Amino acid sequence: MKKALICGVSGQDGSYLAKFLLGKGYRVYGASRDAQTASFINLINLGIKDDITLVSINITDFGNTLECISKIKPDEVYNLAGQSSVRLSFDQPHETHESISTGNLNLLEAIRFSNLPIKLYNAGSSECFGDSFIPANENTIFHPRSPYAIAKATAFWQIDNYREAYNLFACTGILFNHESPLRPDHFVTKKIISGACKIYRNQSHRISLGNINIERDWGWAPDYVEAMWLMMQKDQAKDYIIATGKSHTLKEFIDTTFKVLDLDWEKHVVIDEVLRRPTDLQVGRADPSKANNELQWKAKLGLNEIIENMIEHELSYSNYSTPNSYL
């Protein structure tokens, strides 16, 4: 039985990855800063909390990280931890840098010191590219434009350096935007879905948003965790862009959401300049052909299906239950 350690198991990707790996027969260790007090609501929603060995790890503390790695001796480590909000990173740049780049460096060092044949996956981000008017591929130059993107770019080059210098199996998945019912409400896509459903139920009347002309490549989170696993099964560690290859504006996302609910978004959406970021990416486009060809992976769901699934779950959401059809 393979052992996998997931840092950031309580988040959207960590929870779906845990469910996926359990299905593959792994013994899954789920890491959190304080496993005794964390709610792990996403794991409960997916019905897998009792199937995971929960452990307390603070990856910004090297000693604690090394101790846990040496004790668990995992075959695979998935680093999905860290501050994940681009907007919040402008308010908390130090916390963002420490939780992402310092945490990643400590994992690399812990694996190197352990002398164990551990494979490491690092959660990268399309934010590293900045605006990608031409679809970004694995050779596209980074131009990070937020503290979050800078931290993610740093972690990417740490992985590259340790792979070359110490021959570690370490890889980065450069994931473009990916959504699901487990997205926190402060993410704009979930905010739109939740807000529109409240309007549909006559529980609210408007949604305040910032720049709705941005363009992004949106995928389905459960599809993307499979790509993470596939990267870790290769004989040689490589970095891959994970995306659908099709981008849409946020206005399209809003329009599709409201049409599914038979509503007119222009009657309910208010543009609030305060919600604009100090710097923002206008266009995010991806070329996932390397993952398509080498991993035999391709995104299964398009934007309309993603929105429909999120709306259906939002409308049926009750007592923190998540229908299995969305998993």
Give the residue numbers marked as catalytic.
125, 127, 148
For residue 312 the two structure tokens come to 């259906």
- Angle subtended by helix axes 221-232 and 12-23, to nearest 10: 60
The gap from C-alpha 147 to its chain's centroid, in whole angstroms, comes to 17
Which is it for strands 240-242 and 248-249: parallel, antiparallel or unpaired? unpaired
Determine phi and psi for 56, rounding to 5 degrees: -95, 120
Cβ neighbours of residue 261 closer than 8 Å, sequence gap 6 or more: 196, 197, 199, 200, 311
Other beta carbons within 10 Å of 184: 12
The gap from C-alpha 313 to its chain's centroid, in whole angstroms, comes to 19
What is residue 321's DSSP assignment? B
How far apart are alpha carbons 225 and 16 in whole angstroms? 7
User: What kind and span of H or E run contains 146?
Assistant: none
| Residue labelled with tokens 């923190």 | 320
